[in-house]
Amino acid sequence: MKVIVVGVDKTGQSLIKNLSNEKHDIVGVDTDAAQVQSVIEQYDVNGVVGNGCFSPILAEAGAADADLLIAVTDRDETNILCCLVGKSLGAHNLIAQVRNPDYYANFESMVGRLGIDRFVNLKAILAEHIARIIKTSAAVNLNSFAGGRLEIAEIKIAADSKFCGKALSELRGNRKKDFLVVAIERGSEVIVPNGSAVLQAGDVLSVCARHQEQRDVFGYFGVAKHKIQSVLIVGSGDEAYYLASALLSEGLDVKIIGREWKQCEAIKSALPEANVICGDYTDKKVLDREGFGSMDAIVAMAPSEETNIVTSLYAKTKNVSKAVTVLWSDSYRGLLEEISLNLAVSPYDLAGAEIATYVRSIDVPKDSQIISMQKIAGGKAEALYFNIGKNTLFVGRSVKELGPLMKRGVLIGALVRKRSAIIPHGETVLEEGDGIVVASLQNIITKLEDILEGV
């Protein structure tokens, strides 16, 4: 695909990083020549220096035959205008980043008139991601398939885990509850494993299980926590509003501590069920007075990432069940891994991954049989949900029989049959109309047959 990215600051760079791994023809556009040169050198893409709202600049970038134009500058109106100009030049698909909650909330009423395919809101994506983390209290991350019947959760293997040194084939053994490890993230490497893969300390497992059995799976791996009911959010920006709204809808108790009086009053007005405190969240006395140590979860999402890191470290000393740290840059990522603050999230990385997933969805043929796809294992692998229909290459064959025929780095993780989810064993036979969830390291799978070698 030919993709134009207007705005190559944080979101744009994260997006280009994701897309460049998939060998798209990418052009970065920005008024900052140094930023453009940086992405050209880092990711081997093309670049144009200039304002993406101007027709000559977008024409130079190749908008006339662009499959996708994505505008992710720091101004909503600029992004919308870029998309409109790109559309007038011939760009086929259009995505605009918007920060204003009103724009984001009114996308459906705007899209028919503007012709933009999608709005992306950094802070809403961040809040949705953290809400999933909070909801799945024992997991680092969670992806759902088949209407929520199947879930792929990320579970980290601790240094003192009894599973260190064990092969995957030893795990399921006599368990009554089924699960399947579909990917292992080990440092910068990702493995789609077979039964002989041996677990190591620090591995992050992508574990596929039925929704109703995930809690049992967490318990099996020794990471089960008590259900989270109370959450303290540090910070009162739009992201805090989005997150509080999502958590309240799940019936959780939410307290927000913010320093900006106007922001706090706005959230109080919009979310009367939330307990909103205007105070200095950098003051230990304020935190302790508001029951910081008694909370089930802390989300540090203040504008200062240094404040967020310190807040999460303080939560660790108080034995808070879960602390999520929001990073607004990559400066401290390596440090956090060293001090075991592994629940650190970047809105720019999340937005980049979400847009990259959308790009994959429009890059597949309409008859591909792909129902949905999501990034897993830190964005380095994919989970694709197919319907096999009447495909004779699959119907009537067992998972064991299909194994030698499948490409390396591809694994069948689950089946959906007549609305029931199944974690397959070797003898499980695929039937007509089954849905299958496939984990893959390859970004070239665009149809079901692509998972087989030589087809």
- Distance separating alpha carbons of residues 69 and 58, to the nearest angstrom: 10
Q: How confident is the model at residue 355 (pLDDT cuts 50, 70, 90)?
A: confident
> What confidence score (pLDDT) does residue 298 get?
94
* 405 or 174, which is more confident: 405
Fold of 2-120: Rossmann fold (3.40.50)
Query: To the nearest whole number, what is the mean pLDDT of the chain?
Result: 86
Query: Which of 6-20, 214-228, 260-274, 428-442 comes out lowest in average pLDDT?
Result: 214-228
Sole residue written with tokens 């101007």: 54
Q: Left if phi > 0, otherwise alpha if psi is -120 to 50, otherwise beta: which for 370?
A: beta
Contact of 20 with 47, CB cutoff 8 Å: no
- Distance separating alpha carbons of residues 263 and 240, to the nearest angstrom: 10
66 vs 24, 120, 179, CA distance in Å?
11, 19, 42
Contact of 326 with 350, CB cutoff 8 Å: no
Largest CA distance in the chain: 67
Helix spans in 272-365 (H): 284-289, 305-317, 333-338, 347-362
pTM equals: 0.73
> What confidence score (pLDDT) does residue 258 get?
95
> What confidence score (pLDDT) does residue 270 get?
93
CA nearest neighbour of 71 among 240, 43, 109, 63: 63
> What confidence score (pLDDT) does residue 368 get?
53
Fold of 127-220: Alpha-Beta Plaits (3.30.70)
Residue 88 pLDDT exceeds 90: yes
Domain 362-451 has CATH 3.30.70.1450: yes
Contact of 395 with 432, CB cutoff 8 Å: yes
Domain ranges of the chain: 2-120, 127-220, 230-320, 362-451
CA nearest neighbour of 449 among 441, 58, 438, 243: 438
> What confidence score (pLDDT) does residue 168 get?
87
- Distance separating alpha carbons of residues 393 and 252, to the nearest angstrom: 47
CATH architecture of the domain 230-320 equals 3-Layer(aba) Sandwich (3.40)
Q: Quick one: average pLDDT of 286-314?
A: 93
Centre a 10 Å sphere on the Cβ of residue 202 and count the other Cβ atoms it contains: 16
User: Do 362-451 and 230-320 have the same topology in CATH?
Assistant: no
Q: How confident is the model at residue 394 (pLDDT cuts 50, 70, 90)?
A: very high
Q: How confident is the model at residue 364 (pLDDT cuts 50, 70, 90)?
A: low
Q: How confident is the model at residue 172 (pLDDT cuts 50, 70, 90)?
A: low
- Distance separating alpha carbons of residues 221 and 158, to the nearest angstrom: 10
Amino acid present at 139: A
Q: Which two tokens stand for residue 212?
A: 């109703």
CA nearest neighbour of 156 among 340, 351, 380: 340
> What confidence score (pLDDT) does residue 63 get?
95
The 10s digit of each residue's pLDDT in 34-67 is 999 999 999 989 999 999 999 999 999 999 999 9
Q: How confident is the model at residue 378 (pLDDT cuts 50, 70, 90)?
A: confident
Pairing of strands 141-145, 180-186: unpaired
**385-418 CB burial, b ≥16 within 10 A, e <16:** bbebeebeebeeeebeebeeebbebbbbbbbbee
